[in-house]
Structure 1
Amino acid sequence: YKTAWFMCHRIREAMTDRTGGTPMGGDGKVVEADETVIGGKERNKRLSKRNPKNIGAVGKQICFSLVERGGRVRSFHVPSVNAKTLRPIITKHVRRESTFMTDDAGQYRIIGPEFARYESVNHGADEYVRGDAYTNTIEGFFSILKRGINGVYHHVSEAHLSRYLAEFDFRYSNRVALGVNDTMRTDEALRMIAGKRLTYRRTGEAAHA
């Protein structure tokens, strides 16, 4: 089991785009941003270990993602959700001439005006689509991510979440809908191996984006 587990992490390491690539979006293109939490639920713990004061989730980790409509996705394991944490990521990975779409969270209202066009939808008021303003694309990616983690891996620790995000980013960004077949996907993964080395000791390192 340990050998297979280690090999899977080395493959995920190969799927990791450390350079971040070129910025997403551009003139006439739309980039959606949102965050989600990944982790267990208090009610699923053994009765003797449950915390009656914790009515929500346990071990929740935050995933922040950017997706270009009809294009690629990039996900980041972040320690918190606020403008100070997210702004450096957004401004590095999204071109300023892009149309930027988010929900109505306060941190996005601070960052959004820095782009050529900014639109948000108020989920709290049951607003999910207003013309071309929506975050359904990023929500769709999150549904794939969570189905994969909950249905296949069941549990992902903080130390390894970034590598699982790299796996799902790679699969989404190299999907058939973008004209990428199995051979092309394999070639891309092999290309990304260059210069990377993951030792068993490093698999236990936890790091936020």
Structure 2
Amino acid sequence: MKSVLSAKHFHDEEAAYKFVEARLWPNGPVCPHCGGVERISKMGGKSTRIGTYKCYQCRKPFTVKVGTIFEASHVPMRHWLQAIFLMTSSKKGISSNQLHRTLGCTLKTAWFISHRIREAMRVNGLMMPPMGSGGGVVEADETFIGFVGGAKTSVAWSNKNIVFTLVERGGSARSFHVDGVRAADLMPIIRQNLSREAQLQTDEMNTYSYIAKKEGIDHEAVKHSKDEYVRREGDRLITTNTVEGYYSIFKRGMKGVYQHCKEKHLHRYLSEFDFRYSNRIATGYDDLARAEKALKGVRGKRLTYRTTNQ
């Protein structure tokens, strides 16, 4: 029996660079400064940093870190790879405190690493195909978590963060931090992410019925107020149990592992849980394949936190 964590790229810095280069540059080095692929050579010498190349078109040196979440980071590449594997293979996430203890880095560094990996997991919505194509079932629901500004009130969910999620049965999940649960808040999301062929299944909230009618989407609802959670109509199973199962994992992670989340960072935590759910065993991804997919998402997503509006 051999542990996946015994792989050389998790322990040797040069092997870690080669591992990342093979995934980000499958056809050979690409200069991040000018985009050139010719007249590039690897630099040698005892004082040269590991993985440094020089482009003789723009005459600038570079490594595979440039233009990625790794840029300007002093964290060893092997530790980045360890952190990516731990975050993508932990079903409910792994806290910065745990990363700090496991990697032997400071808590501040662990927090730095984890937020950048969440950014690598984030998928550009414009690149995603519509959900429910070909008549697939898409479940939708909303939940409330945390407190806006950190203050509690006695008025139900009035000052909580609102999360809206679409889950394609047997497929992917997409979650959004929204301002409310009115049609004006949810309709643009449904319009952008759902195929007109989709079967939308929700609870009995009137907003969903209104949106489905307005958009011409096939819609069925289960009546939780009458203790109805599953209904069968012919060969169709009407339920929201799939999206509620997603929320059970999300809330266990947010409350049990992360415990605290500022409103401005919530979208990245949603990306993390969406990524793991959408790339689970049932969709053909094991832990190693999921980690490699996250690694391929590191390009063009550098975070600096130098401004107050991040």
Same fold (TM over 0.5): yes
Aligned length: 197
2:270 corresponds to 1:170: no
* Richer in strand (by share): 1
Query: How many angstroms apart in 2 are the aligned matches of 1:32 and 1:174?
Result: 18
Alignment map for 1:33-112 (pairs within 5 Å): 33-39=140-146, 54=154, 56=156, 59-112=159-212
**1:56-76, Cα deviation, whole Å (9 max, x unpaired):** 468510000000000000000
2:191 is aligned with what amino acid?
A: T
Alignment map for 1:1-209 (pairs within 5 Å): 1-20=107-126, 21-39=128-146, 54=154, 56=156, 59-113=159-213, 114-131=215-232, 132-201=237-306, 205=309
1:14 is aligned with what amino acid?
A: A
> In the alignment, is the contact (CA less than 8 A) between 1:99 and 1:115 conserved in 2?
no
Is the partner of 2:184 in helix, strand or coil? helix
Q: CA deviation at 1:140?
A: 0.3
Query: How many angstroms apart in 1 are the aligned matches of 2:117 and 2:203?
Result: 34
**1:156-203, Cα deviation, whole Å (9 max, x unpaired):** 11011100000000010111122201221122111111211111235x
> In the alignment, is the contact (CA less than 8 A) between 1:6 and 1:200 conserved in 2?
no
Q: CA deviation at 1:38?
A: 0.6
Q: Which has the higher contact order (CA 8 A, sep 6+)?
A: 1
Q: Which runs of 5+ in 2 are unaligned?
A: 1-106
> In the alignment, is the contact (CA less than 8 A) between 1:31 and 1:101 conserved in 2?
yes
1:81 is aligned with what amino acid?
A: V
Tell me which structure has the larger Cα radius of gyration: 2
Query: Could you tell which deviates more after superposition, 58-67 or 70-79?
Result: 58-67
Q: Over aligned residue pairs, what C-alpha RMSD do you find? A: 2.1
Query: Could you tell which deviates more after superposition, 116-125 or 167-176?
Result: 116-125
Percent identity over the alignment is: 52
**1:52-111, Cα deviation, whole Å (9 max, x unpaired):** xx2546851000000000000000001111111111100110100111101111110111
Q: CA deviation at 1:205?
A: 3.6
Query: Could you tell which deviates more after superposition, 115-124 or 84-93?
Result: 115-124
Q: CA deviation at 1:34?
A: 0.6
2:190 is aligned with what amino acid?
A: I
TM-score (norm 2): 0.60
2:183 is aligned with what amino acid?
A: A
Query: How many angstroms apart in 2 are the aligned matches of 1:158 and 1:50?
Result: 14
Is the partner of 2:197 in helix, strand or coil? coil
Query: How many angstroms apart in 1 are the aligned matches of 2:203 and 2:302?
Result: 38
